[in-house]
Structure 1
C-alpha cells in the first residue's frame, strides 16, 4: 500500500504543475483513509481555492488548522482562503499564528505585510519584510512584496532597486519583471519600461495589471490608438478591474472622447461589487483629466459618512479628496480630509488658541510622510520654518528619507535627520521611533494656507559662498538671463518643443538641466549648458539666483525657483499636480510663477503654437525692464 507521505508528496507535485484534478483525487484518497490528515485537508483547501470554491476552501482549511495548528502551511492556506472570502480578521489571525511557528513560509510574511500596508502601517510592514529576509534570505517573493510596498508609497528609487534585485535572482519572475516596468512607468520613463511590461504581459497574458501598464506605456509613447485598444481589452477581460478603467479614460482623453469613456466608467461603478472603491477610482479618473469639480461632487457624499467606512476606504477617499481640494484652492476644505486629527492633542495644547497652537507647533519635530517625494515637500517647507527666527531659536528638526536631506537643508531654520530603515535589524544605526508632527498635517493648520502674493517671502536662498563663481561665469554674457528646463522623454516637454520660442532672443538662454535630458542640447549650440557644472542643489540655487526668468515644465528647478521667488513660466496640462493650483493664472504656492496651461491634452510639439507668443512677450518684457533700469 502506498505510504501517506508518498501520496501527499505526489499530490503536491501535481499542484505545483497545476494539475489540479489529479491533486484533488490523491488528497481525497488520503482523506478516505484518514479524514483527519491535516496536510490532505490543507491540500484540498488549496485545490478548492484555485477552483474558486472559496467557501469550501475556507471550511477545509479551518479543519486542517484545528487538526494540527503546529503546521505553518495549514495556517497559510487558511489565511489565503479567508482573504479570498473577504474575511480579513480570520486571515490576520491565521498569518500571525503561522509567523509564530518554526520556519514560517515566505508567503506568510508577504501576505501579512500586505495586510499591514493596507491598514496604513507601512513601517511595520517594511520591518516584517526585513525580518523575512533575515529568515529566508533574498527570496524573490519577499523582495517583490517589499518593492510593491515601496512603489505604493511613492519610494520609486527603493522600489526599483529591490525589484531589480529580485529579477537578478530569477530573470523570468513575472512579478519582478512587471514591477520593474511599473516603477519605470511611475517615473514616466516609458521607453525603458516597455520591454519589461511587454515581457511580463507575454509571461502572464491574462493578467489585467500588466495589460494596463502596457496601455500606459503606449499612452506615454504617443501611440494613442493602440493604447485605447489595449485599455479597452482590459475592461473586457476583467470589467471590475478599476485601474484598467482609469487608464482607458486617460487614453480616451488624448483622443478627445473623454466624456464617453467617463460615462462608461460611471455605469460600471454603479454596479461594481465594491462600490466605494469604484466611486473613489471614478473620482480619480475625473481628477486625472482635469475634471476636478466633478471628482469633488462624487466624493463629498462619502466624506459626510466617512466614519461608516473601513480605515482603508477612509484613507483612499480622503487622499483623492484632499488632492482635489488642493488642486482647486479649496483650502478650508482640506482640513476636513484629516479624519480624526486632533491638533491640540498632537501639539500638547489644552486650548485651540491660534497663538498657543503656533508656539507649540514651533517646538515640534517634523516627520516627512513616507509617500512624499521631493516635489511634494518643497511647497510645504514654506510653513515648516519656525515662526520664531531669533538667534536664541535653534531651529526645527525634520526627519525623513535621506534622499530629501539636501533640499530640506536649504531652508533656513530647518535641521535634517535621515530616518531610513535599514534592510537588517543588525544595523545599530537604526534610529529610535520619535513622536513627531507629520509634514502633511501642516495643511490642517488654519494659518498654513498659501498667502496672498504680497505676503510671500522666499524661503530658499543661494549660499553666499557659491555665488562668486556663477557671477563670474555669466558676467560676459548679455542679459537678460533666461533659464530653461525640459523633460527627459515623452510624453513630456522636450527641448525641441521649446527651441522655436527662443530663436532670435537678444539675451542669454541658460540650460538648468543636469540629468540625462542634457543629451537634447546637441545641436543647440547657442544655449549655455550650466547644468554640466552642477555638483549639488547649492549650484542650482546659485545659478537660479542669476536668472531673470525661468521657463519649463514641472520639475525640481521650477519648485526651487518658486521657493526662491524667481520669476518663471510653468507649462502644464489639465492633469497638473496639486502643488500647481492656480489663482487667476498664477501659482498659489509660488506666486512668482505664472501658469501656461493647455485647454486639453495636447502633444507638446504644439507648444510654440499654443504659448510661443506669450513666452516671447515675457522674454521681451525682461529686455525692456533691463533697459529701463539702465536708463
Structure 2
C-alpha cells in the first residue's frame, strides 16, 4: 500500500519532534516532488531549513505556501517565526495579530505572541498572551514551558519548576520541557540533575541543535568544558550557519581560553550575511564574552544607521562604553533611548526594582539610592534576593519598601543615569553600607586575634572561574589569616584548605556579610557579593577579574572606577589564572610591607 502525502507529512512531523531531521527531509522531498504545492510539506520543510540556518531557502518555501493559501494561520504563524529569526519583530507581530484576529482559537499564534513579549521584557503583555494560550491548552507542554520562562523572568524559580514538573507529567519525554527544566536545575546549582535532564533531552532528540545547545550550556555552567567542546564541535560541523550553535560554540571556546579561534570562527559566520541584524548582534555578544570591548565599540561605530539603531546593538554598545570607563556616554545613550526628562529628579523618589535586575548590579545601584536618601525619602518597589544587604544602607532610615506603586516608578538604572548626567555631585563615592554594631562586635570576637592580618577570601565553585586551589597556592606561604567568606554549598571545598577559617558556616544571611567584612583587613576574590560589600564599605580589596568583566569593574590599570578601595587585577579570558596569581602575589607582598595600607 502506497503512503499518502498526508501520512508522509505526519510521519515527517514526528521525525522532526525526535530530531531525525535527515529522515524527515527525505519524506518531505518525496511529497514535494509529486505535489509541489502541498502546504503541510512546504511548512515542515521550511522549518527544517530554518533549523539548518538556511534562511533564504526557508523563506522561499513559506512564500510558496503563502501564495497557495494566504489566510492559513499555520503559514502566517510560521512566517512570523521566520521574521523573528531575521530580527524583524514588527513584521512578526503584524502576522500574528492577523492570525489572532481571523482565527482566535489558534493556539500557536497566541503562544508565540507571549514568547515575543517575554523576550522583549514586556512581562505584562507576555502574561496576557500566555494566559490566553493557557486557556486554549492548559496542559500543552509548550505553553507550560513558556509560563515557566515567564516565572523565571520574575525570578520565581519555584513556580517555574512546578510548571515544568507538571509539563513533565503530561509529556515525560518532551525535549523542550526536559531542556528547560535542566536550565532551572542549573540556576539552583543542582548541576548533576541539570546534566541528567539535558542529556535525556538530547537522547530524545539527538539531532536537535537547540537541545544540544542547552546541554552544552549546562556542561559549561558545570565546569565540564571538555564535554561542552566535543558536543559543539559535532554540531558545528552539521549546522555551520545556525546561530545558537555558532554562538554557543564560540562561548565554549572562549571559556577554554581559545579567544582568537572563537572570534575567527564567528567572523566567518558573520561574513555569510554581514547585514543581518541578528548576526551582527550575535557577533557583538561574542566580542563581549571575549572582553574585546574596544573592538565591539569600533564595530558598532561602523555599522549602518539601521543596524546601529537596533535595540540589541545599542545595548551592547552601551555595555562596552561602561566597561571602558566611559559611563557618562553609556548612560547618555541609555537615557536618550528611553527619552528620560533632563531635569534633576526631586525627592521623594519611588524606585522600581525590575524582577531581572542582576544581584550584583543592585550593590552598585545602592550607592545612588543611598545618595538620594540623604536628601529625602526613597521608596523601593519590588523584591530582591539581597533584601538583607539593602537593609544595611547607611541612610537606611530614609529608605523603605512597598509591594505596590500608586504612581510612576523610576528604575534603579534610570536613577543612576540621572545621577551621573544631571546631578554629578550625587555620583561622588562615599561608603554606603553600615554594619550592625552588636553583630559586628560578635564577629570581631570570633575571628583570630593574634595580630596577623585577616584576609577574606572567596572563589568560584567551578572552572573556568577562579578556584579554591588558585587562592590556596597563593596564601599558603603568606603570614595572614585566610578567612573564608564562602556561604553556599561550595563551602565544602574547604576540606582542601584546612588552614582557612570557615566564617561562612556562621553567617546569618547575606546582610551579615556586611558585619563580617567590616572586621577584615582585606578581601580577595573574583566578582562576587563579598567584594562588592567590601567596596561599598570602603574596605581594601583585590578583584581578580578577566577581560570580559562586568561594567561595574571598569577602571584604569589597578584603579577601579566604581569602588576606589578595590584594586583590579585583569587577566586574559579562560581557565588559566596564572597571570592573575602572579600579580596577586606581588600585590600581597607590597601590602604586607606597608602596614599603613591596611
Normalising by the smaller structure, the TM-score range is: 0.7 to 0.9
Q: What is aligned with 2:585?
A: 613
Q: 1:285 to 1:150 in 2, by over 3 A?
A: farther
- Measured against aligned partners, the alpha-carbon deviations of 1:86-109 in whole angstroms (never above 9, x if no partner) come to 64244221343378x4xx455343
**Maintained 8 Å contact 1:549/1:566:** yes
Q: Is 1:366 equivalent to 2:374 in the alignment?
A: no
Task: Pick the aligned partner of 1:58 from 50, 55, 66.
Answer: 66
Q: Higher relative contact order at CA 8 Å, sep ≥6: structure 1 or structure 2? A: 2
Q: What is aligned with 1:561?
A: 534
Q: Distance in 2 between matches of 1:295 and 1:569?
A: 27
Q: What is aligned with 2:179?
A: 178
Q: 1:127 to 1:258 in 2, by over 3 A?
A: same
Task: Pick the aligned partner of 2:566 from 593, 598, 604.
Answer: 593
User: Could you say what the CA RMSD is over the residues aligned between the two structures, in angstroms?
Assistant: 4.0
Q: What is aligned with 1:336?
A: 333
Q: 1:400 to 1:329 in 2, by over 3 A?
A: same
1:447 Cα deviation from its structure 2 partner: 2.7
Tell me the SS of whatever aligns to 2:544. Answer: strand
Alignment of 1:257-406 (within 5 A): 257-272=258-273, 275-302=276-303, 305=305, 308=306, 314-334=310-330, 335-344=332-341, 352=342, 357-358=343-344, 360-387=345-372, 389=374, 393=376, 395-406=377-388
**Maintained 8 Å contact 2:347/2:372:** yes
Tell me the SS of whatever aligns to 1:510. Answer: strand
Q: What is aligned with 2:547?
A: 574
Q: 1:416 to 1:98 in 2, by over 3 A?
A: farther
Q: What is aligned with 1:415?
A: 399
1:184 Cα deviation from its structure 2 partner: 5.4
**Maintained 8 Å contact 2:9/2:27:** no
Q: Distance in 2 between matches of 1:316 and 1:144?
A: 24
Q: Distance in 2 between matches of 1:45 and 1:135?
A: 25
**Maintained 8 Å contact 2:465/2:575:** no
Aligned length: 560
Tell me the SS of whatever aligns to 1:362. Answer: coil
Unaligned runs of 5+ in 2: 16-23, 32-36, 47-60, 85-90
Q: Is 1:442 equivalent to 2:415 in the alignment?
A: yes
**Maintained 8 Å contact 1:113/1:128:** yes
Q: Distance in 2 between matches of 1:485 and 1:182?
A: 25
1:495 Cα deviation from its structure 2 partner: 1.8
**Maintained 8 Å contact 1:154/1:372:** no
Q: Distance in 2 between matches of 1:200 and 1:49?
A: 24
- Measured against aligned partners, the alpha-carbon deviations of 1:146-169 in whole angstroms (never above 9, x if no partner) come to 333456788777655644553355
Tell me the SS of whatever aligns to 1:513. Answer: coil
Q: What is aligned with 2:201?
A: 200
Q: Distance in 2 between matches of 1:254 and 1:228?
A: 10
Q: 1:285 to 1:489 in 2, by over 3 A?
A: same
- Which stretch shifts more, 318-327 or 200-209? 200-209
Alignment of 1:96-175 (within 5 A): 96-97=100-101, 101=104, 104=105, 106-130=107-131, 132-133=133-134, 136-137=137-138, 139-149=140-150, 162-175=163-176
Q: What is aligned with 2:499?
A: 526
- Measured against aligned partners, the alpha-carbon deviations of 1:451-473 in whole angstroms (never above 9, x if no partner) come to 89x95211111123422321222
Q: Distance in 1 between matches of 2:466 and 2:162?
A: 27
Q: Distance in 2 between matches of 1:270 and 1:152?
A: 33
Q: 1:269 to 1:189 in 2, by over 3 A?
A: farther
**Maintained 8 Å contact 2:250/2:265:** no
Q: TM-score when scaled to structure 2?
A: 0.81
- Measured against aligned partners, the alpha-carbon deviations of 1:484-532 in whole angstroms (never above 9, x if no partner) come to 1112222222222211222244342211111101101125332221111
Q: Distance in 2 between matches of 1:591 and 1:556?
A: 16
Tell me the SS of whatever aligns to 1:382. Answer: helix
1:215 Cα deviation from its structure 2 partner: 3.9
Q: What is aligned with 1:425?
A: none
**Maintained 8 Å contact 2:256/2:575:** no
1:326 Cα deviation from its structure 2 partner: 0.8
Q: What is aligned with 1:48?
A: 42
**Maintained 8 Å contact 2:526/2:545:** yes
- Measured against aligned partners, the alpha-carbon deviations of 1:126-161 in whole angstroms (never above 9, x if no partner) come to 343245446644542222113334567887776556
**Maintained 8 Å contact 2:433/2:537:** yes
**Maintained 8 Å contact 1:265/1:282:** yes
**Maintained 8 Å contact 2:351/2:379:** yes
Alignment of 1:1-12 (within 5 A): none
Q: What is aligned with 2:212?
A: 211
Q: What is aligned with 1:88?
A: 92
**Maintained 8 Å contact 2:274/2:280:** no
Q: What is aligned with 1:35?
A: none
- Measured against aligned partners, the alpha-carbon deviations of 1:563-616 in whole angstroms (never above 9, x if no partner) come to 111111111212211221122212211111111221342434x47853452253
Q: TM-score when scaled to structure 1?
A: 0.77
Q: What is aligned with 1:37?
A: none
Tell me the SS of whatever aligns to 1:437. Answer: coil
